[in-house]
Amino acid sequence: MEKLMRTLRNPAKQQPSSPVTADRSLFYRFFSALLFLTLYMIVVKINYEAGAPNDDALFDAKRLLVSDQGDNITQIIHLTIFVSVFLGVLLSDWRAMFLSISIPYLLACAWCILSFLWAIDPGASVRRSIFTCILLFSTANIVRLIGTRRTIEVLYVFLGLAMVVSLIAVCLSFIPLFSFAVHPGNEADPSVVGAWRGVFWHKNTAGPIATVALMVFMHVGLDKGRRLDWFLFFCSAIFLIGTKSKSAIALAVLVLLIGYGYRSLASKSGGGKAFGWLTLYVLANLVILALCEHDTIHAFLTDPANVSGRVAIWLSMWTYIKSHLWLGSGFGSFYGIGYNSPIFTVATEKFVLGVIQSHNGYIEVLASTGLIGFALAIFALVIWPACRFFMVRPRDARLYALCFSIWFYGLLANFTESQFFSLDKQIWLLVVIAISMVHNKATMRAEPGAAPIPAPPPAELTLVPALAPPSRGRFPRRTRQLAGLRGSIPSQGPLS
């Protein structure tokens, strides 16, 4: 155990063939398996069921939803992962326990925990905020323990298996055992009938996961150029189209193009800063355009039927936000708390009562944590990572391009889905993995063995005159090196 601890703290001093190296390899495999298990527990949800056959039944089913107590087995597994990661951090470097999470993110999490003091349902708020912090601690520290290369390998294997298995299940969906892969004909929403969902809960989850898979396989394919990478890219594209997720398909094209552009610019000196200035220019133009088209945008966002009825949900949430602007309802204390949920008093349409999320991550964070928590979350998860991406060094461009694509897609997807700041949601877990890799890359300390070799003394400190070089062997090699006579004294090999 003592040898293992020394190896984990200073791997450069160990020989590749030492027994401790085998222990370290086992250490990496174990925590890589934990990351894979975390992804599986949150992302993969096989669902044989369909929505209720009519709106009234859907309304009654969701209206009776009470504060969730969670699955005991799932909670035990996540707690086991947390304890394992905690012990792994103690073995490697306990001082880095919280270095894997940025200070702004820690402040945002602290506010979420504190919000139970004024939450509508304090028990649900405490439970959900602590669960979020446990997942954040486990995920971020696993990424730091195994490193970026192994993290990408785990993502690659997991997403590759998810896409291939989903396609196989779709092809065999005529068999009752694999019927989960396609939305059945008795769905409450006729528009999703026949859409592919594979091993995921809903096509609105399958589409975003397939989009992230496209990003991973594209960037790895650009690096490695292997046929397997592009085969998996092709499989992901086919599955994405089969999900009939219009927003995911549109965002996939946009993010892949922007991610490739970022990769090209970031690989050049000053390219990250140039991309940042270009982004600010585009945002400024969008703001000016929004001000010029204020009436049109206002009319669009006040029509409850727009965006597949999502505007009605947003208007209902906004009614609550205006009266609880600063503190909100408490983290995790808006939906899923039974009849105490504010949605029963602010809903503008009947169907809104049957919806268990706001379909906008930013609005939901604002409603649950107030303006203060919203500001902390935006700074921690939008502004702070953006600064990291815009300050990229050319040698890190390939890693940052992949992480930027996942992060940017997560930001865009949260305008129509509620995943922002919720690690138990599929896409945001992948976003946190991406920003954790970037954070660790920017803050990880250099290994002790990687210190640069000191330069030789200046020429004016030469101990032996250069005009009268001694014959070979007169001085030991170390003396010749210190004397700075490398060019004038013959040597049998280069000096180190």
3-state SS track over 117-178: HCCCCHHHHHHHHHHHHHHHHHHHHHHHHHHHHHHHHHHHHHHHHHHHHHHHHHHCCCCHHH
Over residues 54-101, the pLDDT tens digits come to 444 444 444 445 444 556 888 899 999 999 999 999 888 777 777 889
Read off the pLDDT of residues 126-149 as tens digits, 9 standing for 90 and up: 999 999 999 999 999 999 999 999
Q: Which residue has the higher pLDDT, 445 or 331?
A: 331
User: Does residue 22 carry a pLDDT above 90?
Assistant: no
Cβ contact 411:355 at 8 Å:
no
Question: Amino acid letter at 196?
Answer: W
Alpha helices per DSSP H over 325-425: 343-346, 361-378, 384-390, 397-413
Q: How confident is the model at residue 15 (pLDDT cuts 50, 70, 90)?
A: very low
Q: Is 480's pLDDT higher than 60? A: no
Residues linked to residue 46 through DSSP beta bridges, in sequence order: none
> Residue 277: which of 171, 373, 387 has the closest Cα?
387
pLDDT per residue as tens digits for the range 147-174: 999 999 999 999 999 999 999 999 999 9
Give percent of the chain above pLDDT 70. 80
**Distance from C-alpha of 267 to C-alpha of 271, rounded to nearest angstrom:** 7
Return the CA Rg of the chain.
27
For residue 139, give the amino acid letter: T
Give the H or E element holding residue 480: helix 477-483
- Report residue 415 CA to chain centroid gap: 17
Q: Which two tokens stand for residue 31?
A: 């925590």
Q: Which amino acid, 299?
A: A
> Could you give the CA distance from residue 320 to residue 325 in angstroms, rounded to a whole number?
8
Looking at residue 3, what is its pLDDT? Answer: 53
Residue 205: pLDDT above 60? yes
For residues 123-132, one letter each, b for 16 or more C-beta atoms within 10 angstroms of the residue's C-beta and e for the rest, the string is ebbbbbbebb
HSE-CB for 86 with a 13 A CA cutoff:
8
Tokens of 369: 């944590």
Which residues are CB-neighbours of 321 under 8 A, at least 6 positions away? 328, 363, 366, 367
pLDDT bin (cut points 50, 70, 90) of residue 473 is very low
Q: Please tell me the predicted confidence (pLDDT) of residue 421.
A: 80
Between 354 and 418, the more confident residue is 418
Residue 170 CB coordination number (10 Å): 19
Q: Are 154 and 39 in contact (CB under 8 A)?
A: yes
pTM of the predicted model as reported, rounded to 2 decimal places: 0.84
Q: Is the pLDDT of residue 471 over 60?
A: no
Q: Using CA atoms, how far apart are residues 271 and 289, in angstroms rounded to an integer?
A: 27
Q: Are 355 and 314 in contact (CB under 8 A)?
A: no
Dist CA 241 CA 3 (whole Å): 52
pLDDT digits (tens, 9 = 90+) for 299-358: 999 999 998 889 999 999 999 999 999 999 999 999 888 888 999 999 988 888 888 888
Given a cut of 80, whether residue 218 has pLDDT beyond it is: yes
**Is residue 234 predicted with pLDDT exceeding 90?**
yes
**Residue pair 440/463 in contact by the 8 Å Cβ criterion:** no
Closest CA to 495 of 456, 458, 469: 456
Q: What is the mean pLDDT of the chain?
A: 84
d(CA 406, CA 400): 10
Q: What is the pLDDT of residue 63?
A: 45
pLDDT band at 2 (very low <50, low <70, confident <90, very high): low
Q: Could you tell me which residues come within 8 angstroms of residue 496 by beta carbon, excluding any fewer than 6 positions away?
A: 453
